[in-house]
Amino acid sequence: MSFQADLEKLFGLKDVSYKYELSKDALFNEAIAHDRGRVRRDGPSDEQKAFPTQLGVNGPLVYYTDPDCTGRRTKDTYAVKWPEVADEIWFKADLNAYDPEKYEGLLKRVIAHLNDKKATLYVKDVFMGSDPDFAVPYRFVGEYATHAMFVHNMFPKNLPGVKDVDARRWTMLNVPSFICEPERDGSRSEAAVIIDTRNKICLVAGRADYCGVNKKTIFTVGNYLMPKQGRLSMHCSANVGKDNDAAILFGLSGTGKTTLSADAARRLIGDDETIWSDNGLCNLEDGCYAKLIDLDKDAEPVIAQALSKPGTIIENVPPLPGKKMEECHPDELDLTDGSIAENTRFSYPLDANPNVMPNGQGPHPKTIVLLTADAFGVLPPISILEPKDVMYHFVSGFTARVAGTEVGVSEPQPTFSACFGGPFMAQKPNVYAKLLAEKMEKHHARCILLNTGWSGGPYGTGKRMKLSVTRALLNAALNGELDNVETETQDILKLKMPKSCPGVDSAILDPRNTWADKAAYDATATKLRDMFRENFKKKGFAEFGIEERI
């Protein structure tokens, strides 16, 4: 059956035209000529959204999202609450339940809208994952050539050996020109991102045109599908050392996940989405989607070099003052300019990295790293976790951000995101935690909690852990040098700390020693312990069979 017949059968699309599997150069030109929508909050809905730089097709495409969608619309992300998945999917604030009847009505209206306007749709066939044993066929169908080009960048293509492609395919229908009406459609706002597990559909209706929606939505699908097959889907980076020793690094934004996984002595598997299967580790992507705001080009040379390469996409970076984007060289753009969005982004192929594993695959990991940046300054720089500790800290997903700029906010703010990627976890957290514990036991993997945050006091008093110290601690763990070291347990937070580590001053390994005011340390550690306990109770983790460890 042709792809047109597939789409007519699946959706009822009859009066549309398609541009199927265009090259990246063709999509570049199509985006500039045809991608239209809102780019200013008070502007019209038909402004140009994609632009060339001075390099033309030999450089990046620069794309501007709707001003209400400069990141994922988490409150507008849903899964259809079909009866067969009502008790299986982990419905929560960033994956809401959508009424099946309302969804069916909305989908019909979106299709009618496309048929009535005789829409032109761009189609890309790719895969989520490069291991043919489980790769998920993913068909993108959407109004924007930029989105098709993004999908081409970010996912494996032309993967041989995948069975039952048509039967297993998921299809995303991305329609920014349709405006949802909450009272009629059952949405919260004028936009909705909806996962339909029964029909293998991802529907993006309305102004949700941030490129990352096309990646994170299908990864949420993967996080639903893979655990059902006994495969652990993870929001993490992964790399491999010279002795074929793999490691995975979990961590929320700002904890050092990308920085620490980019190691000249280790080959990269991936920096964001990874599967741990019976075959080992596998990147689900074929590209990188990096933050650009305040990028240090000396510290991140791979991204800096890729900025001017053809076929890449720069998102929400403004042109230089007084110039049109087509007059700007991409290397001259001001990456500190957050006037359009703080979440400026850059999409580029994985092979732009000079040191990657073939097909984004690697062996079973020897080391699991849970990263946190504790701005309270009370967690040890490194802790050695037992299996039950791993499950507890994995579902907690803790980091602490520095104090905000609001009046009266003067102390660090805790963040808890289950499995270090809560919004994308479609199954309940114990599903992932149990799989992690089982795979760690089976493959004899060690686990550490690595604190890249503050020492000697909280933010404002103490100092951020030096990257060189964090690297030394991480390398010691990766090399097995902490496996049999003498330890002691921190009384309040119940964390097992090594008493020595090669290349690191042992005085800093117990964080209490670094505080001048020991009573203040105890009080702050007790406060953080209580935050952990409150989160554990609030999320109902005990009901999922997770043991409280603090």
- Residue ranges for the known binding site for Mn(2+) are 216, 235, 272
Those residues with Cβ within 8 angstroms of residue 296's Cβ, 6 or more apart along the chain or in another chain = none
- Strand-pairing partners, residue 288, are 348
Three-state DSSP string of 378-447:
CCCCEEECCHHHHHHHHHHCEEEECCCCCCCCCCCEEEECHHHCHHHCCECHHHHHHHHHHHHHHCCCEE
Q: Residue type for 502, please?
A: P
Burial (CB count <10 Å: 0-12, 13-18, 19+), residue 222? buried
Using DSSP's 3-state secondary structure scheme, residue 250 falls into strand
Radius of gyration of the chain from Cα atoms? 24
- CB contact at 8 A, 124 and 27: no
Measured between alpha carbons, how far is 210 from 436 in angstroms, rounded to an integer?
31
Per-residue tokens: 222? 């993967």
Does residue 272 have an active-site annotation?
Answer: yes
* Backbone region of residue 444 per phi and psi (left: phi > 0; alpha: psi in -120 to 50; beta: other values): left
Does residue 253 have an active-site annotation?
Answer: yes
Per-residue tokens: 3? 């792809």
Instruction: Quote the crossing angle between the two packed helices 387-396 and 518-539, to the nearest 10°.
Output: 80
Q: Which residues are annotated as part of the binding site for substrate?
A: 72, 210, 216, 345
Q: What is the dihedral of CA 435, 440, 442, 444, to 10 degrees?
A: 180
Q: Which residues are annotated as part of the binding site?
A: 72, 210, 216, 235, 251-259, 272, 300, 345, 470
Q: Of 38, 49, 73, 345, which one is the catalytic site residue?
A: 345
DSSP state of 143: S
Per-residue tokens: 483? 């496996």
Q: Of 49, 72, 139, 364, which one is the catalytic site residue?
A: 72
Measured between alpha carbons, how far is 70 from 67 in angstroms, rounded to an integer?
6
Measured between alpha carbons, how far is 414 from 392 in angstroms, rounded to an integer?
16
Q: Of 147, 207, 257, 366, which one is the catalytic site residue?
A: 257
Q: Of 23, 45, 253, 506, which one is the catalytic site residue?
A: 253
Instruction: Please name the helix (run of DSSP H) or strand (run of DSSP E) that holds residue 62, with its range, or none.
Output: strand 61-63
Which of 250, 175, 179, 159 shows the shortest CA–CA distance to 213? 175
Does residue 243 have an active-site annotation?
Answer: no
Per-residue tokens: 256? 């050092």
- CB contact at 8 A, 50 and 35: yes
Does residue 235 have an active-site annotation?
Answer: yes
Does residue 207 have an active-site annotation?
Answer: no
Q: Of 271, 272, 374, 389, which one is the catalytic site residue?
A: 272
Q: Of 207, 216, 231, 439, which one is the catalytic site residue?
A: 216
- CB contact at 8 A, 328 and 319: yes
Does residue 6 have an active-site annotation?
Answer: no
Measured between alpha carbons, how far is 402 from 375 in angstroms, rounded to an integer?
6
Q: Of 220, 233, 258, 372, which one is the catalytic site residue?
A: 258
Those residues with Cβ within 8 angstroms of residue 67's Cβ, 6 or more apart along the chain or in another chain = 38, 39, 40, 41, 340
Using DSSP's 3-state secondary structure scheme, residue 514 falls into helix
List active site positions: 72, 216, 235, 253, 257-258, 272, 345
